[in-house]
Structure 1
Amino acid sequence: MKLGIVITDEGHLSLTKQLFDAAVGRGWEAFCFLTDTGVNLLADEDFVRRAKIHPNHVSLCEHSAQRHAQGRYDLGVMSSYVVVGGQYQDAELVYNCDRVMVL
């Protein structure tokens, strides 16, 4: 099972981490796409730890990061384990996942 989680607001940090962990705990693959203020989940060290453990399972809209992150993290450093892209990554997540949740 592949679970896709689209995060549109940074207020969903706790729930996103719980969903990601629950999916992985069941042996599922979990993928996240961050957009709008959801890109600020990458300012959380605990969320970033998950992204490092599961490289390329977290992607984000670069435009949203430029607009909302305001230097809270360095995308250049994260590009080795986070896919820096655009809304295409969202479409790809929806296409490739069995179930998708939008928060």
Structure 2
Amino acid sequence: MQLGIVVIDDRCAPHAVGLLKAAQARGWETRCFLTDRGVFLLNDPVFRRLLDEGKSHFSTCELSIERYAHEGISVEGMEDKIIVGGQYQNAELVHNSDHVLVF
């Protein structure tokens, strides 16, 4: 099973992180794309631990990072753990996943 999770709202962080952990525990391949306010997960310590574990494929929208940079959003120090790209990464996630959830 390949599960894709797209996060567009940081208020859904607990749900997205919980599903990523549950899917990983089942041995599923997981992909996560952060866009719009979903990029605020980059500052969430629980989400950062998932990045550090390296069990999922993570990508984010560069435009969203730039949009919220003034609020402290950055991928500095995470460049080797997350792909900074665009909506192509979102399309790739959808194409390569059996199921996609959007938060």
TM-score (norm 2): 0.92
User: Is the 8 Å Cα contact of residues 61 and 87 (structure 2) preserved in structure 1?
Assistant: yes
CA RMSD of aligned residues (A): 1.5
Give secondary structure in 2 for the equivalent of 1:16: helix
User: Is the 8 Å Cα contact of residues 56 and 82 (structure 1) preserved in structure 2?
Assistant: no
Instruction: Please list the CA deviations of residues 36-91 of structure 1 after superposition, one character each: whole Å capped at 9, or x if unmatched.
Output: 00011000121011012126611100101111243524323111101111100000
User: Is the 8 Å Cα contact of residues 2 and 97 (structure 2) preserved in structure 1?
Assistant: yes
Of the structure 1 ranges 46-55 and 3-12, higher mean CA displacement relative to structure 2 is found in: 46-55
2:86 matched residue in structure 1: 86
User: How many residues align structurally?
Assistant: 103
1:27 matched residue in structure 2: 27
Of the structure 1 ranges 70-79 and 31-40, higher mean CA displacement relative to structure 2 is found in: 70-79
Give secondary structure in 2 for the equivalent of 1:6: strand
Q: Distance in 2 between matches of 1:44 and 1:69?
A: 15
Q: Distance in 2 between matches of 1:48 and 1:5?
A: 16
Moved over 4 A (4+): none
* Identical positions, percent: 46
Q: Distance in 1 between matches of 2:81 and 2:55?
A: 4
1:5 matched residue in structure 2: 5
1:74 matched residue in structure 2: 74
1:96 matched residue in structure 2: 96
Structure 2, unaligned stretches of length 5 or more?
A: none
